[in-house]
């Protein structure tokens, strides 16, 4: 049976408590909830928000946008990353595209997306462009780092290419893929919310944050931020659990 309170968990809990204490001290020193509300005011605001239909709609639609962006990015990354890992010429052809996407400021992409797309599609587009290069790079790296001896043995025994891909390359890229997914989802989740803040669709975490900021409802801005942090942390936890389950063979 696993211990509930391990050393690392106690350290993490202690840091969280210290952050909450620091937050409360800063709130008291400012002396105004309009500048920095304390943890108690923020939590009560969060509980009030959770009971509204707008909360469910906004959280649900942001999750949907993030998942669609991730699915599109992963599909495109597999289509590009696998051939790029197998062939250096294909990798060289796509490298300028990947570098350009990674180097372009997010705000520039959002401004262009606002011109090209309807506001509901902007966050999905931003999430896709944020996650695609990360996933593509990791997949191609995983392919290139496959043990050469395994590939040579497969060719020596005339094993079909489909089996080589599924039984040699796929297990090889899994650690790289999970690492890329963890990083991509973290950046992508934040990018989707940023896209919502600037594109202002009817529903979305970013839209609600922007509305709260417009009316100087600081506690709501912080409450929505906490929601985003909690959901992002849950994603990271789920990815780690899935990785441990999938990669038992590697342990």
Question: How high is the pLDDT of residue 157?
Answer: 58
Asked, for residue 108, whether it belongs to a domain, the answer is yes
Distance (Å, whole) CA 225 – CA 238: 20
Asked, for residue 201, whether it belongs to a domain, the answer is yes
Coil/strand/helix, residue 152: helix
Distance (Å, whole) CA 216 – CA 141: 47
* Pair 219, 23: CB distance under 8 Å: no
Distance (Å, whole) CA 194 – CA 228: 11
Asked, for residue 194, whether it belongs to a domain, the answer is yes
Average model confidence (pLDDT) across the chain? 86
Asked, for residue 168, whether it belongs to a domain, the answer is yes
Coil/strand/helix, residue 38: coil
Nearest to 173 by CA among 70, 84, 88: 84
* Pair 38, 24: CB distance under 8 Å: yes
The CATH number of the domain holding residue 176 is 1.10.3720.10
DSSP class of 104: S
Question: How high is the pLDDT of residue 1?
Answer: 47
Asked, for residue 187, whether it belongs to a domain, the answer is yes
Nearest to 125 by CA among 201, 56, 17: 201
Asked, for residue 179, whether it belongs to a domain, the answer is yes
**Segments forming the whole domain that contains residue 208:** 55-250
User: Average of pLDDT values for 133-155?
Assistant: 77
Q: How many domains does the chain have?
A: 1
Question: How high is the pLDDT of residue 9?
Answer: 76
Asked, for residue 10, whether it belongs to a domain, the answer is no
Q: Would the pTM count as exceeding 0.75?
A: yes
233 C-beta neighbours (distance < 10 Å), count: 11
Question: How high is the pLDDT of residue 106?
Answer: 84
Asked, for residue 20, whether it belongs to a domain, the answer is no
């Amino acid at each position: 049976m696993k211990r509930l309170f391990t050393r690392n968990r106690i350290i993490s809990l202690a840091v969280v408590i210290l952050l909450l204490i620091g937050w409360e001290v800063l709130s008291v020193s400012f002396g105004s909830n309009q500048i920095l509300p304390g943890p108690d005011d923020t939590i009560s605001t969060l509980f009030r928000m959770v009971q509204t239909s707008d909360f469910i709609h906004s959280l649900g639609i942001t999750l949907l946008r993030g998942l669609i962006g991730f699915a599109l990015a992963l599909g495109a990354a597999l289509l590009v990353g696998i051939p790029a890992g197998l062939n250096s010429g294909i990798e060289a052809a796509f490298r300028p595209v990947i570098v350009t996407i990674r180097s372009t400021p997010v705000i520039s992409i959002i401004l262009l997306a606002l011109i090209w797309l309807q506001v509901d599609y902007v966050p999905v587009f931003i999430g896709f462009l944020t996650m695609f290069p990360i996933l593509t790079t990791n997949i191609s790296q995983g392919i290139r780092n496959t043990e050469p001896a395994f590939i040579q043995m497969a060719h020596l025994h005339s094993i079909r290419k489909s089996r080589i891909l599924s039984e040699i390359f796929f297990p090889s890229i899994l650690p790289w893929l999970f690492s890329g997914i963890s990083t991509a989802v973290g950046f992508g989740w934040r990018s989707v919310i940023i896209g919502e803040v600037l594109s202002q669709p009817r529903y979305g975490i970013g839209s609600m944050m922007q509305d709260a900021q417009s009316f100087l409802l600081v506690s709501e801005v912080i409450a929505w931020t906490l929601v985003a942090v909690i959901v992002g942390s849950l994603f990271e936890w789920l990815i780690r659990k899935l990785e441990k389950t999938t990669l038992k063979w590697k342990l």
